[in-house]
Structure 1
Amino acid sequence: MVKHHLSRSAMVLALTVIWAKAAHAEVTLYGILDTFVGYTNAGGKGAQVAEQSGGLYASRVGLRGSEDLGGGMRATFDLENGILTNNGAATDSTLAFSRNAWVGLANRYGEVRLGRQNSALLIMHSKFDAFNGGTYGSFLHNASTFTFRYDNMITYWSPNVAGFTFSAGVSFGGQTSPHDALNAYVGAVDYQRGPLYLGVSHAEQNGANGQLNLKTTFAGGSYQFGSLTGYFAFYRGNNLGANLNTNVEGKYHSVYWLSAGYMVSPALHIAAGIGYVQDSTAQNNNAGEVSLGAFYNLSKRTLVYTTVARLVNRHGATYSLIGNGPITPNTPVRGEGVTGAQLGIVQFF
């Protein structure tokens, strides 16, 4: 993959041109700013206190819009860049829009999008979790390794039909020999009816030799009982190092995660979770975590959150508490655990 470096002035010019071209379309400037202070004490490494970006949500800013083309057809787009609110840097300085850069067409039969897009797995797994797939408290996120988004992707997103929606996509690796090397295939289906939500998503990616050697699956759901919502989630994947040349098909690890959220008041809800990861190899690099969290809405656009978690590794496992941003975790030595707590604030716009 060739990545182009854009200067700051070039990015400003590009955004100006986009804004001018979008004068006759409906365009929304949006973003999420999430900053937290976290304490972790990792076995064999020691304690660390750090301010970081992206605890509950990955911080980002973007432009999304649509244009009515008539006859029920709309042109759509989304340009979204990840940012680090603790130091003002881009999450990926080699990309102008590191999170989303796609254009699409939509009508009552669904939407087709082309470009860099979030994986359906990333979108779905947060729905199985009282911690929204983020913070130190989400063992589902801490212990799952998968591709968040793909370049060169074509996706279809269906309308809601009797509570069911589905999506499917292919990312082209752009190779000549073999022609399907590095291709990725993603699909998801979910169901929402009343208090019940169920979903499953799956992704496979070819290696450099064209053979399928990365496979990832998420499945789970939730059910609301008045003020209490219970969540269950399952992850299975062999993406143990995100290396398309060395991963071994059939060597998986599985994550089992149960969590619950309770609405104490319209502004305050609390969460708890317990999970376990099982390594299918002979190394038995297993781990487990228990978590507690609280989330308080100061307004419709601002919330504060806090979590505490204890993660225990076994044998050679080195899982850690990573939150939801591109942060450098305080990783314990092999087989040691980590305890953490964080306090953060989120602003939506």
Structure 2
Amino acid sequence: MKKALFAIVTAVAAVSANAQSSVTLYGIVDNGLQYETGLPKGNAFSAQSGGWAQSRFGLKGAEDLGGGTKAIFQLESRLNTQNGSFANGSFFEGQATVGLQNDTWGQVKFGNMGSAEISQYSGDVDPQQTKKYSIGTLVRGRIFSQAANGVEYLSPKIAGFTLQGQYDLTNSSTWNAGNPGSAPGQLGASSGLGSAQGRSDGIKLSYQRGGLFWQATYDEVRDPNGQFSNVYLTSRSILTGASYAFGPVIAYVGYQHLSAPDASNEGYFGSATPTTLPTGTSLPTAVNHEWVGAIWQTTPALAISGAVYHANANNGNGNATMFTLGANYSLSKRTLLYTEFAYLHNSATSNLGLNSGLYGANSNNDPINGNPSSTNPNFGQGQFGVIAGIATQF
């Protein structure tokens, strides 16, 4: 490992010596402590990685090709720095891309967009900036999709507008189909975002002028059969939001609609449908998600953020509201201390959790068919959470 790191540093130094090209080594290390109530088996005090931003390290570089065009690349690993593991088991899960950049016609790149899947730019209109309790929580992490085998175009800024689009191939002879196997989330399958999925694509339009920033995004993620079978995993998403800065305060507002017309209990649970789902509920096919909040830069070092998020799911799945309060204190330009508090209130037929658990009953209320590793609270149960930590960038 030491030899590998020495080789990387040596390569960076050698390339940086060339005036026409550059390579940058960068990263974030973020670790903290967390306390949460309302978990299936009680309360938990734990160590967490990535409460402010997911830990990572990467290399990015550019070579001047002349005529205003550059060749660019980026390799990025996402990490759990509490145990040293890679996110999703992939070395360059964050990004592995190469492309061309020109100030006049824009940028195109190819490869694994990974954690740069277009929905993750939703953090630009999130008052909690995708911290632990934020825009992804009440949609069970839907904005944190992955994108592989892709191509992306990013336009230059024109009259304040910027256009970005992604298209991700399945590398399959069947249109829309992904790798063989069960869809993400099914019992017995590789579950969670980043596991097997079919074609994904998306487009984002943003506008910035003065203190105003606006963004609208449409993206879709299909299951391995080319269907929209789970509103939280493989679905269509329409999201729009805006922020406005006045003095030391930035105000935020946003809305998201998720749809999965092919979703069904049978398709998701198979023959093991939990027997303790609330009466009349089935897998939701639509979710409406709204939020409002602000960041107040009280001093050059201290920023306080607060936000309220609300989500309502159809097919009897109820609604949930999350209240958050956070603070960042900068010790330097690269290092900060952070903390965040959250309270999540569920209606009687909702079991959304602070940890973005998968849909369905947990092991407490369905000991036969429930998911034993579920972090969902019981239906109608609220949760309180607090996290505090330190993060440094390089």
- The yes-or-no answer on 1:48 pairing with 2:44 is yes
Matched-pair contact (CA < 8 Å) for 1:29–1:63: yes
1: CA distance, partners of 2:287 / 2:78: 29
Q: Distance in 1 between matches of 2:42 and 2:12?
A: 48
Query: How far has the Cα of 1:16 moved from its partner?
Result: 7.8
Is 2:290 the counterpart of 1:256?
yes
Distance 1:88 1:102, change over 3 A: same
Distance 1:341 1:205, change over 3 A: closer
Aligned-partner Cα distance in 2 for 1:135–1:177: 38
**Could you tell me which residue of structure 2 aligns to residue 111 of structure 1?**
107
Q: Distance in 1 between matches of 2:3 and 2:376?
A: 38
For residues 205 and 347 of structure 1, what CA distance do their matches in structure 2 show?
33
Taking structure 1 as reference, are residues 196 and 329 closer, same or farther at Cα in structure 2, changes over 3 Å only? farther
Indicate the percent of aligned positions where both proteins have the same amino acid. 31
Pair 297,10 (structure 1): closer, same or farther in 2 beyond 3 Å: closer
Structure 1 letter corresponding to 2:249: L
The residue matched to 2:88 in structure 1 has which SS?
Answer: coil
Q: 1:178 to 1:274 in 2, by over 3 A?
A: closer
Match of 1:322, SS?
A: coil
Q: Please tell me whether residue 294 in structure 1 is matched to residue 327 in structure 2.
A: yes
Counterpart code for 1:92: N
* SS of 1:315 mapped into structure 2: coil
Partners in 2 of 1:339 and 1:241 — Cα distance? 33
Alignment of 1:279 with 2:313, yes or no, is: yes
Using the alignment, how far apart are the partners of 1:329 and 1:307 within structure 2?
23
Give 1:175's aligned residue. 172
TM-score w.r.t. length of structure 1 = 0.86
Deviation at 1:92, TM superposition (A): 3.1
Which range moved further: 69-78 or 333-342? 333-342
Match of 2:119 in 1: 121
1:187/1:179 CA distance change after superposition, 3 Å: closer
- Of 34, 45, 67, which residue of structure 1 is paired with 2:63? 67
Match of 1:331 in 2: 376
Segment of structure 1 superposing worse, 15-24 or 26-35:
15-24
> 1:17 Cα shift?
9.8
Shift of residue 66 of structure 1? 0.4
Runs of at least 5 residues in structure 2 that lack an aligned partner in the other structure: 179-197, 230-234, 269-281, 357-372
Q: Report the CA distance between 1:21 and its aligned residue.
A: 8.7
- SS of the residue corresponding to residue 83 of structure 1 reads strand
Question: 2:314 is matched by which residue type in structure 1?
Answer: S
Shift of 1:242: 10
Aligned length: 332
Amino acid at match of 1:340: G
- Report the RMSD for the aligned CA atoms in angstroms: 3.0
Q: Compared with structure 1, are the counterparts of its residues 183 and 249 closer, same or farther at alpha carbon in structure 2 (3 Å cutoff)?
A: farther
Q: Could you tell me which residue of structure 2 aligns to residue 4 of structure 1? A: none
1:102 aligns with 2:97: yes
Q: Match for 1:303: what amino acid?
A: L
Question: What is the SS of the residue equivalent to 1:98?
Answer: coil
Q: Is the 8 A contact 2:260 2:285 kept in 1?
A: no
- 3-state SS of paired residue (1:332): coil
Kindly provide the amino acid, as one letter, of the partner of residue 258 in structure 1.
V
* Deviation, structure 1 residue 13: 10
Contact 2:79 2:87 in 1 (8 A): yes
AA aligned opposite 1:333: N
| TM-score (ref. length: structure 2) | 0.77
Amino acid at match of 2:332: S
Listed one character per residue, the Cα deviations across residues 130-179 of structure 1 (whole Å, up to 9, x for unaligned) are 2111123x2x2211224532000001000111110011111001111236
* Larger strand proportion of the pair: 1
Is it true that 1:155 corresponds to 2:189 in the alignment?
A: no
The residue matched to 1:111 in structure 2 has which SS? strand
Change (3 A) 1:115 1:175: same
Question: Is 1:142 aligned with 2:137?
Answer: yes
